[in-house]
Amino acid sequence: MSLLEASALQVRLGGKPLVRDLSFALDAGELLGLIGPNGAGKSTALKALVQLLPHSGAIRLDGRDPATLPARERGRRIAYLSQNDSLQWPISVRDLVALGRHPYRGSWWRGDGGLGRRDDEAIDKALRATDVWHLRGRKVTELSGGERARARLARVLAVEAPVILADEPVAALDPRHQLRVMELLRAQSRQGRGLILVLHDLTLASRFCDRLLLLDRGRPVASGTPDTVLTQPHLRAVYGIRAVSGRHQGQDYLLPWECV
């Protein structure tokens, strides 16, 4: 059984179909890249998958309809990094990351809502993995864009969910941190998790993802290994670009080069 499946997923907002006929299965150990131009429907699809938008079609999380799961159970099974950063509270980085443990905690009004040793371990591990350990005492409102992005990712990793959906997790990062985070996310998949990453960087997508799903105007137009999806005809038709490609250390790479 797949960790996460969608069949014929559709999202309509304001009378407009934003995602149409999207079907896929995400298996344990898999890193799936969701790619496509601005406005293609990538974020909308992720939001529908985590039940933040009304949709039709079927979604199965570990074989079950996520809409029927209690919120805390759903929150333990699927972690979501949104594209937009609306952090306005001056909480510390550690407190932000601790929010990732919310689905495991009791209720503050019953007095059993505190963090336990297992929570502290997960939080510390996520802080170190995303290279924000040294920032753990700083206010999130006083971080740079890339530091905030890594702190937000740490919150998602602290959930330790089997399924992670991340909307542009590396868009704000410098090249070294982009590579570190992609390696980290690939390692998460190799530990048996299933990940869907929305990516605009086709070089990173082709290098790190096991499989890509290319969306255009809400519809899936190609799905498969990076070499079968990132073909010149697809790049030309969907993005209106031409890329150069090569091979390094036994692996194909691709570099967007010019508009056509």
Residue 226 DSSP class = H
Nearer to ligand ATP (CB atom), residue 102 or residue 217 = 217
Longest Cα–Cα distance of the chain, Å, equals: 62
Looking at the DSSP bridge assignments, the partners of residue 166 are 81, 197
Choice between 129 and 209, CB closer to ligand ATP: 209
Q: Quick one: tokens of 80?
A: 């979501």
Measured from the CB of residue 227, what is the shortest distance to ligand ATP in angstroms? 23
Q: Which is nearer to ligand ATP, 160 or 168 (CB)?
A: 168
Residue 238 has what DSSP assignment? I
CB of 34 to ligand ATP, least distance (A): 8
CB of 244 to ligand ATP, least distance (A): 23
Q: Report the residue number, 20 or 138, with the smaller CB distance to ligand ATP.
A: 20
Q: What angle do CA 9, 10, 15 make, to 5 degrees?
A: 170
CA 198 to chain CA centroid, Å, is 6
Smallest separation (angstroms) from ligand ATP to the CB of 11: 8
Distance of alpha carbon 135 from alpha carbon 99, whole angstroms: 16
**Choice between 87 and 171, CB closer to ligand ATP:** 171
Among 158, 167, 166, residue whose Cα is nearest residue 99: 158
Shortest distance in whole angstroms from residue 259 CB to ligand ATP? 17
Count CB neighbours of 92 within 10 A: 15
- Residue ranges in contact with ligand ATP by CB under 6 A: 13-14, 16, 18, 36, 38-44, 83
